[in-house]
Amino acid sequence: MSAEEHRHMSEHHHDIPIEEKEMNSWRKKMFLSWILVIPIAVLMLSDRLFGIKIFEENIMRIIILILAFPVIFIFGFRTIKQGINGLFTFYFNMDSLIALGTVIAYATGFLSIIGIVQDYSGVSAMIMAFFTTGKYVESIARGKAGQEIRKLLHLGAKKARILRGNQEIEVNISEVRIGDIIAVRPGEKIPTDGIVIKGESAVDESMISGESLPVDKKKGDTVIGATINQDGILYIKATKIGKDTFLSHIIKLVEEAQGTKVPIQKLADKITSIFVPAIIIVSVLTFFFWFYFTKDASRAIGIAISVLVIACPCALGLATPTALMVGSGIGAKNGILIRKGEAIQTMKEVRTIIFDKTGTITKGKPEVTDIISEIDEKDFLKIAGSLEQVSEHPISKAIVNEAIKKKIKLIGVKNFKVERGRGIKGNVKGKNVLIGNRKLMNNNKINYRKYENKIIKLEDEGKTAIIVSANRKVLGIIGVADDLKPDSVEAIRRLHQNRYRTVMITGDNEKTARAIALKAGIKEVIANVLPEDKEKKVIELQRRGMVAFVGDGINDAPALKQANVGIAMGTGTDIAIESGDIVLVKGNLTGVVQAINLSKATFRKIKQNLFWAFFYNIIAIPLALLGTLNPVVAEIAMATSSVTVVGNALLLRNKKI
Q: Which residues are catalytic?
A: 356
Helix 121-142 crosses helix 631-650 at what angle (to 10 degrees)?
A: 20
What long-range pairs does 567-576 form, CB within 8 A, spacing at least 24?
Answer: 567/591, 567/592, 567/595, 569/359, 569/360, 570/335, 570/337, 571/359, 571/364, 572/359, 572/360, 573/207, 574/148, 574/151, 575/148, 575/151, 575/152, 575/155, 575/254, 576/551, 576/552
Q: For residue 596, which amino acid is it?
A: I
CA distances from 436 to 379, 388, 419, 474 (A): 18, 10, 9, 11
Distance CA 121, CA 65 (A): 6
- DSSP state string for 210-278: --SS-EEE-TT-EE-TT-EE-SS-EEEEE---GGGSHHHHHHHHHHHHHHH------HHHHHHHHHHHH
Distance CA 581, CA 565 (A): 6
Query: Which are the contacts of 65, defined by CB distance < 8 A and separation ≥ 6?
Result: 106, 109, 110, 121
User: Are 386 and 415 in contact, with CB atoms under 8 Å apart?
Assistant: no
Q: For residue 521, which amino acid is it?
A: G
Q: Alpha carbon 417 to chain centroid distance?
A: 44
Q: For residue 131, which amino acid is it?
A: F
User: Are 614 and 316 in contact, with CB atoms under 8 Å apart?
Assistant: yes
Count CB neighbours of 419 within 10 A. Answer: 16
User: DSSP 3-state assignment of 550?
Assistant: strand
Distance CA 558, CA 536 (A): 9
Q: For residue 519, which amino acid is it?
A: K
**Tally: H helices and E strands in the chain:** 24, 22
Q: Please tell me what DSSP assigns to residue 357.
A: I
Cα-Cα-Cα-Cα dihedral sign, residues 110, 113, 114, 119 = positive
Query: Which are the contacts of 347, defined by CB distance < 8 A and separation ≥ 6?
Result: 548, 565, 582, 595, 596, 599, 600, 603
Distance CA 147, CA 144 (A): 7
Question: Which H helix or E strand runs over 504?
Answer: strand 501-505
- DSSP state string for 127-179: HHHHHHHHHHHHHHHH--TTHHHHHHHHHS-SEEEEEETTEEEEEEGGG--TT
CA angle 256-260-266, nearest 5°? 150
Helix 18-48 crosses helix 121-142 at what angle (to 10 degrees)?
A: 150
| Residue 587 Rama label (left phi>0; alpha psi -120 to 50; beta) | left
Query: Which are the contacts of 114, defined by CB distance < 8 A and separation ≥ 6?
Result: none
Task: Name the H helices within 369-498.
Answer: 377-388, 394-405, 438-443, 452-460, 488-497
Distance CA 514, CA 492 (A): 15
